[in-house]
């Protein structure tokens, strides 16, 4: 995400891959543009990386917005999750990476709601994103 002066905050998380893999796959990424009330949803370009020696199928990717002391994301921010699923997995070859969106799978999106209440507390706010996912080999 970008803060009020245009600096980028990037967060990376890793998980254990089910079905016998001993290495983590990782998800990293950031929103593509600034958020402001009423702006269109911004894609969150996510890079999925497989360090394993076998291909994996990513079957779930979730993005959450961490609480912010000034601007409550539960009230002010909406995340539309990617459509990665068990019926629409993303294949990542051994030692490779895939960036969402792909031709078949949408990237998650984030937008800031335009509420009828005062949102001045959200001016210059920075939101931290967390990523969670599942995969199988």
pLDDT tens readout for residues 52-110: 999 999 999 999 999 888 899 999 999 999 999 999 999 999 999 999 999 899 999 99
Output the pTM of the full model.
0.79
Residues 6 or more apart whose CB falls under 8 angstroms from that of 62 comprise: 81, 131, 132, 133
Residue 21: the pLDDT is 45
pLDDT in tens, 40-56: 999 999 999 999 999 99
d(CA 39, CA 102): 23
Contact 57, 89 (CB under 8 A): yes
Left (φ > 0), alpha (ψ -120 to 50) or beta: where does 59 sit? alpha
d(CA 61, CA 58): 8
Phi, psi of 18 (to 5 degrees): -70, 175
Per-residue pLDDT band at 33 (split at 50, 70, 90)? confident
d(CA 115, CA 103): 34
Residues 6 or more apart whose CB falls under 8 angstroms from that of 43 comprise: 31, 32, 101, 107, 108, 109
21 or 58, which is more confident: 58
Per-residue pLDDT band at 10 (split at 50, 70, 90)? low
16 or 67, which is more confident: 67
Residue 127: the pLDDT is 87
Residue 112: the pLDDT is 94
d(CA 41, CA 22): 36
């Amino acid at each position: 995400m970008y803060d009020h002066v245009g600096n980028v905050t990037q967060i990376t998380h890793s998980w254990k891959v089910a079905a016998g893999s001993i290495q983590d796959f990782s998800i990293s990424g950031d929103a593509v543009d600034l958020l402001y009330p009423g702006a269109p949803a911004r894609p969150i370009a996510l890079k999925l990386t497989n360090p394993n020696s076998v291909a994996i199928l990513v079957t779930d990717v979730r993005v959450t917005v961490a609480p912010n002391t000034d601007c409550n994301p539960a009230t002010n921010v909406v995340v539309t999750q990617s459509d990665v699923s068990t019926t629409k997995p993303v294949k990542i070859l051994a030692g490779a990476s895939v960036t969402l969106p792909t031709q078949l799978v949408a990237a998650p999106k984030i937008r800031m709601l335009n509420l009828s209440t005062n949102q001045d507390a959200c001016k210059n706010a920075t939101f931290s994103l967390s990523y969670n996912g599942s995969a199988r080999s």
